[in-house]
Amino acid sequence: MPDMIVEATVNGRKIKKIAQTHQRLLDFVREELELTGTKDGCGAGECGACSMFVDGRLVKSCLVPVGKAQGSEVETIEGLGRTGELSVMQKAFHKAGASQCGYCIPGMVMAATAAIRVNPAVGDEEIKERLGGNICRCTGYQKIFDAVGLARDVMNGRLPATALDEDAAEGGRYIGANVRRLDAPSKVSGALKYAGDQVMPQMLHVQVLRSPHAHARIVSIDTSEAEAMEGVEAVVTSADVPGKDGFGVFVHDQPIMARGKVRYVGEAIAAVAAEDLLTAKRALQKIRIEWEQLAGLFDPDEAMQAGAPVVHDYAPDNLVKHIPIRKGDVERGFAEADLVIEERFETQQVEHAYLEPEAGIGYVDPDGVVTIVSPSQNITHHRHMLAEILAMPINKVRFVMSPVGGGFGGKEDMIYQGMLALLAIKSRRPVKLVFTREESIATTAKRHPSRTSYRMGLTNDGRIVASEIRVIYDGGAYGMSTEGVIRKGAILAAGPYAVPNVKIDTYGVYTNNTPSGAFRSFGSLQTQFATESMLDMAAENLGLDPFEIRRINAMQAGDLTHTKQELKSVSLLQCLDGAEKASGWETGAPTVRGATREDLDGEGCRKPCRLGARFHAEIPAPKLSEVA
Amino acid sequence: MLTCDDYLIPTSLDDALELMTRHSGRQRIVAGATDILPWAREGRAGDVHVEHLIDISKVAELNEVSFGKGRVRLGAATPFQRFLDRDDLVKALPNMRHCAIWFADDQIRECATVGGNLANASPAADGTPPFLALDAEIELARREDGRTVRRRMPLSQFITGPGGNQLVTDELIVAIECDALPDYGGSFEKVGHRRSLVIAVACVSALVSIDRSGRHFDDVRLAVGGVGPKALRLADVEALLRGAPIEAGVIDEASRLPLDLVQSRTRQAYRREVFRGFVSRALAGAARDAGAEIDAVEAELEVHHHA
Ligand SMILES: Cc1cc2nc3c(=O)[nH]c(=O)nc-3n(C[C@H](O)[C@H](O)[C@H](O)COP(=O)(O)OP(=O)(O)OC[C@H]3O[C@@H](n4cnc5c(N)ncnc54)[C@H](O)[C@@H]3O)c2cc1C
Ligand code: FES
Ligand code: FES
């Protein structure tokens, strides 16, 4: 591998190290210097997880070829608070609660530090502008902005240093008090090790061959040429699975790697473990596959029609699951209604976009225990499934949950841990796989796209008397969480409203689209969106205030849900009151509003996007030599 | 992933050109690397191997900025952030700081160079319209028989279409030379999906000088990008506005002139509406920047000015 000697100053220390010519400064710092506080979130300049200073200027190190660092001064998150104490900015992040999963936080702290260095009196708008290149998926930004403002005020002496200390819990009560998170120091300092940050002696690097086709039969796979390559230690396919190959949150319909055919673009077919990443990548190109194309199925309605292509043999009707709910008699309800509204709704696929792409390490420990370290949201279930897949007793399979750099449901599926296990067993060495952002987006589960047909009957005084709801969820190529998602979707479909007559049918279907899985709200977002939209239309039709129509129908304590769960307490009315007040809502039916509304564009409303706050600020000219 | 056998870092122009010629056909230029590294990823070019990567960002001449005879000469390796933090450039090129603030983010701008932006010749590049408005010329150089040969041409000729330019084999952009217009006001408007890190759907830049009364346009320069295969100066709008009163009716009329440029087949009505709105916003913004009293005009036009 071509290499070069890099001499630079890193966090105040002179270094001289061999780098590979293709490495980015990010790789060099993480791999050669083993400073893993700086993260890789996208590798394309879009997220800021990799922000660091080079010669006093903040840059995204994923876009800096290592050659550019020759002779320069580099400062990483590990360089802040070098005395072992957190820097003021890091303490402010700790105090303000500005870290959740923490994956974006080192980059965020660096961007915040840069903002203060360039302009010690940086204003609130300018803070937002200067942090514009750093994305956080978890915190919602407000706490991050609070932290930067706090650090600025402490540094300028406007607030005492004690402002960074933990607030005393009033009267010893912690509920409702501002408590600092225990794990925050490890996140603001970059010390926390996510799976991708961990290394083991003798570790191999894994790459995965993925399907370019949505639906195709694998006639043959030839891995011999890849296996013969120097530096390649193991290649696995579905043929290497010793036990019962199948995983999934409900139905175990997904093989570790494609078995016989592929069902979506991006599905794993083979995996290679090699001495280094480049060799593993090159080995993928040597794997030969003979394909036979099959008709693809991409439309969930079509999936339910007779004669549609079949995705899984065990489900000739392409149905993952159907959940029906019946209560009362909807036809009688519609007969009593003064108004019947019918509408169709569609929602789309959504990516979770956690900042940490999937990563994991697999190894066999000295006692023969197959061990997987990964940010899995479901390790116990994974452990049970993997034991069956490997045909090993459960006490010989171990899962370690590494810090999860954001999940939101997207890390519930065991889509890569099985490959790590097989490769560790076959190579007898620790193996590590880190997804690229593109790989993560292309291959992991998404929020279910949905199509809802809705019929709602109401009386003139605003009471819902019947709801008939039919939802088709596109489950994609594998079952994953679909069954649970559509069950939750059905249970919550008619909303938190006391409707006497209800008919609900939710269907999860197989297609050759990217699999759908768990995602915050677990299937109910799709139906809530439809129900709440129906209520707004009903309010418009009946001349009622949208808050009022919801109050009229709200379930109360003591009511039974549509699936007969007794509600002991219900806070819906308080919730509606709170939302009405906070939004400055003007009472009235939607129809009487329009151009005269004063609650739009008023106090508390977000103004159009602007940039250029710094043009008006008194910015002391940056003195880079001083802040370097 | 972009891989190479060696990564070369010449410090003089002659050395850089010599290396390019010596490794002709087996090399690629890297300046800020902000286009080339994302390009060599899955979904775009994928894994790319180049024998020799030649990093020109340390070449002295490409980093020089100089002023003379009403013109500014910017070395091709000048990063966009300098339009925000160098006082002399902020004064001389009044539209460039507005362009820069909407360009990527503070960190990308520390690396992204003007030469790379123009060489890439993307129809959506933010650098092209403001430089067209500044009557920019491009200076190019290559090695021929052991000598460095230079030539120059207007930017409007240099870019030939999406991704296309006049560079011949082993030729470099050395500098961009453009008007110094310290008495003008400038603006830049961008239509995109979010605030930072967004490639423009369309962008526009204006330069305006006003007469002594502050009530009339004196000179007006306007250029748009993203609406056709290449960025354009809007000569008819400029002609209509020169000497005209700074009034909402006048700006509104001017913003309707170039609507035929919007030829996209989808969402025509929407695109035309957006285009008209942001041309008038750019004109009003540049007039404000030049010192004109513009609050009433903007209110009448219903445009919100950006800071
Ligand atoms: C996250 C992100 C956001 C971005 N946002 C924007 C934006 O808002 N607006 C925008 O316009 N662009 C944007 N870009 C694109 C990019 O940053 C710019 O086009 C930048 O100016 C490219 O310059 P560079 O020096 O980084 O080019 P490089 O990647 O180094 O080079 C690009 C190409 O130009 C060639 N080249 C470079 N310099 C020369 C030269 N002197 N002579 C001849 N050829 C040369 C290279 O060989 C290469 O083919 C963005 C990029 C990223 C990653
Ligand atoms: S910006 Fe560098 S990893 Fe995302
Ligand atoms: S805390 Fe920012 S991405 Fe999770």
Which of B53, B107, B197 lies closest to A59 in CB terms?
A: B107
A136 lines ligand 3 (CB under 6 A): yes
Q: If you average pLDDT over residues A345-350, what whole number do you get?
A: 98
Contacts of B266 (CB under 8 A, 6+ apart): none
Determine contact: B53 vs chain A, CB below 8 A: yes
Coil, strand or helix at A142: helix
**Annotated domain spans of chain B:** 2-55, 61-179, 185-306
Query: How high is the mean pLDDT of chain A?
Result: 95
Mean pLDDT of the region A248-276: 98
Residue span of the structural domain in which A604 resides: 592-627
Please list the residues that pair with A509 across neighbouring strands: A319, A474
Is the per-residue pLDDT at A236 higher than 50? yes
**Pairing status of strand A268-274 against strand A319-327:** unpaired
Question: Does B17 reach chain A within 8 Å, measured CB to CB?
Answer: no
Q: How far is CA B206 from CA A324, A621, B74, B134, B185, in A?
A: 61, 27, 20, 9, 8
Residue A148: pLDDT band with limits 50, 70, 90: very high
Token readout for B135 is: 């009557």
C-alpha A321/C-alpha A510 separation (Å) is 10
Residue A121 within a domain: yes
Instruction: Tell me if B2-55 shares its fold with B61-179.
Output: no
Give the number of C-alpha atoms closer than 13 A to the C-alpha of residue B10, restricted to the C-beta side.
18
Q: List A560's β-bridge partners, or say none.
A: A566
Which candidate, A84, A108, A107, A85, places its Cα nearest to that of A96?
A: A108
CB contact under 8 A, B101 and A130: no
A309 part of a folded domain: no
Find out whether A122 and A617 touch, Cβ atoms under 8 Å: yes
Mean pLDDT of A39-59: 98
How much distance in Å is there from the Cα of A483 to the middle of ligand 2? 35
Query: How many domains, chain A?
Result: 6
Contact check, Cβ <8 Å, A65/B55: yes
Write out chain B residues lying below 8 Å of A58, CB-based. Answer: 106-107, 110
For ligand 2, the distance from its centroid to the CA atom of residue A191, given in whole angstroms, is: 19
Same structural domain, A335 and A470: yes
Q: What angle do CA A123, A125, A129 make, to 5 degrees?
A: 110
List, for residues B79-110, the tens digit of each pLDDT value. Answer: 999 999 999 999 999 999 999 999 999 999 99
Q: Quick check: is A301 in a domain? A: no
Binned at pLDDT 50, 70 and 90, residue A601 comes out as low
Cβ B222 vs Cβ B205: under 8 Å: yes
Domain boundary among A54, A79, A104: A79
Read off φ and ψ for residue A254, nearest 5 degrees: -110, 120
| CATH of residue A268 | 3.90.1170.50
Average pLDDT of the segment spanning B119-133 = 93
Range scoring the smallest mean pLDDT among A80-94, A300-314, A585-599: A585-599
- Paired sense of beta strands B48-55 and B2-8, if any: parallel
Listed range (A490-499, A589-598, B167-176) with the worst mean pLDDT: A589-598
CA distance B165 to chain A (A): 24
A578 Cβ neighbours under 8 A, 6+ residues apart: none
Asked if residue A227 and residue A156 are part of one domain, the reply reads no
Whether the complex's predicted ipTM is more than 0.90 is answered with yes
Centre of ligand 1 from the C-alpha of residue A135, in Å? 21
CATH entry, B2-55, from 3.30.43.10, 1.20.1250.20, 1.10.3720.10, 3.40.50.1000: 3.30.43.10
Which position has the higher pLDDT, A378 or A608? A378
Full-model pTM: 0.95
Chain A residues touching residue B85 (CB < 8 angstroms): 621-622
Single-letter amino acid, residue A597: R
Phi, psi of B2, deg, nearest 5? -100, 120
| A353 contact partners, CB below 8 Å, separation of at least 6 | A137, A406, A441
Which residues, in sequence order, are CB contacts of A545 under 8 Å at separation 6+?
Answer: A539, A587, A588, A589
Interface membership of B57 toward A (CB under 8 Å): yes
Chain B residues closer than 8 Å to A439 by CB: 42
Same domain, residue pair A439 and A453: no
| Amino acid type, A432 | K
User: Does residue A280 contact residue A273 with C-beta atoms inside 8 Å?
Assistant: yes
Q: Is B31 in the pocket of ligand 1 (CB under 6 A)?
A: yes
| Ligand 2 pocket member A468 (CB < 6 A) | no
A293 has which bridge partners? A216
* A330 and A464 co-located in one domain: yes
pLDDT, tens only, A109-140: 999 999 999 999 999 999 999 999 999 999 88
Q: Kindly state the average pLDDT of the residues A351-357.
A: 98
From A79, A112, A138, the end of a domain falls on: A79
Task: Give yes or no: residues A469 and A399 share one domain.
Answer: no
The number of the ligand nearest the C-alpha atom of A50 reads: 2
Write out the two tokens for B58: 């340390």
**Looking at the predicted structure, is the pLDDT value of residue A320 above 60?**
yes
Question: Any idea which ligand is nearest the CA of A141?
Answer: 3
Do both A387 and A249 map to the same domain?
A: no
Q: Is the CB of A436 under 6 A from ligand 2?
A: no
Mean pLDDT, chain B, whole residue set = 93
Q: Is CATH 3.40.50.150 correct for B185-306?
A: no
CB B182, CB B92: distance < 8 Å: yes
A48–chain B nearest CA distance, Å = 9
How do A370-374 and A397-401 pair as beta strands? parallel
Query: Mean pLDDT over residues A477-493, rounded?
Result: 98
Alpha carbons A482 and A516: distance in angstroms, whole number: 7
Task: Please check whether residues A486 and A550 belong to one and the same domain.
Answer: yes
| Distance, CA of A359 to CA of B66 (rounded, Å) | 49
From B29, B35, B50, B78, the mutation candidate for ligand 1 (largest count of ligand atoms within 8 A of CB) is B35
B61-179 CATH: 3.30.465.10
DSSP calls for A378-403: -HHHHHHHHHHHHT--GGGEEEEE--
Q: Does B110 touch chain A (CB under 8 A)?
A: yes
Tell me, yes or no, whether A74 lies in a domain.
Answer: yes
Q: Which residues on chain B are in Cβ contact (under 8 Å) with A51? A: 107
Rounded average pLDDT over A565-575:
97
**Tokens encoding B233:** 């100066």
**What is the structure's pLDDT at A600?**
66
Number of other residues whose CB lies within 10 A of the CB of residue A463: 18
The two structure tokens encoding residue A175: 């509920």
Test A62 with B37 for CB contact under 8 angstroms.
Answer: yes
Co-location of A556 and A455 in the same domain: yes
Residue from A4, A26, A47, A68 to probe the interface with B (highest B Cβ count within 10 Å): A68
